[in-house]
Amino acid sequence: MDAARKSIFPIADDSWESIAIREVAALDKEQAISQLQSWNLHVFARRVVNDDTGEMGNPILPSDVIFVEPPVKA
């Protein structure tokens, strides 16, 4: 059986930035955010209207699985 990709469940009020700083500290913050978003399109592509501001966003939910490393190559 192949090893699973490293993943986390977000903590309260996590953002792409806070996860990048905590989990992908070896990369520049902007590069880490970009990598996280590309590894987690199932979350990043989600579009939800914020009831407070009326703006579109892609919130990270506590139940989301967030991958913190790239897919394993076959």
pLDDT per residue as tens digits for the range 10-45: 998 899 999 999 999 999 999 999 999 999 999 999
Looking at the domain assignment, is residue 73 inside a domain? Answer: no
39-43, 51-55, 58-62: least confidently modelled range: 51-55
Residues near 20 by Cβ (< 8 Å), separated by ≥ 6? Answer: 27, 29, 32, 33, 36
Q: What is the pTM of this model?
A: 0.83
Half-sphere exposure of 45 (CA within 13 A, CB side): 5
Residues near 2 by Cβ (< 8 Å), separated by ≥ 6? Answer: 72
Looking at the domain assignment, is residue 26 inside a domain? Answer: yes
Measured CA to CA, the distance from residue 34 to residue 5 in angstroms comes to 18
Looking at the domain assignment, is residue 2 inside a domain? Answer: no
Looking at the domain assignment, is residue 52 inside a domain? Answer: yes
Q: What's the mean per-residue pLDDT of the chain?
A: 90
Domain range for 35: 7-67
- Whole-number pLDDT of residue 3: 73
